[in-house]
Amino acid sequence: MGAYYDEIEIEDMVWDEVKGVYHYPCPCGDRFEISRKQLANYEDIATCPSCSLIIRVVYDPVRYVNILQRYVQTKAAA
């Protein structure tokens, strides 16, 4: 797949605790979304539920999986 609308750093996206996704504004007025599970599975395409645009999420998969594992352990201990 090579027709990305843009490439966005994960740090520029916002975590939505309620929906369980990272999101980023889409030009159509909605938001691109990608879940932690998708990122942990090395998926890097965020989609907009209202239009056909997609973005590539730029992140370090190895670093992200380590951060995700620590987050899960912290939540389980709470």
9-33: per-residue pLDDT in tens? 999 999 998 998 999 999 999 999 9
More confident residue, 31 or 66: 31
Q: How sure is the predictor about 7, in pLDDT bands with cuts at 50, 70 and 90?
A: very high
Q: What is the pLDDT of residue 41?
A: 85
User: Rounded to whole angstroms, how far apart are CA atoms 5 and 32?
Assistant: 11
Domains of the chain: 6-76 (3.10.660.10)
Q: Is the pLDDT of residue 65 over 80?
A: no
Structure tokens at 13: 């996206």
Close Cβ partners of 19 (under 8 Å, ≥ 6 residues apart): 33
Q: What is the pLDDT of residue 31?
A: 97
Q: Is the pLDDT of residue 1 over 60?
A: no
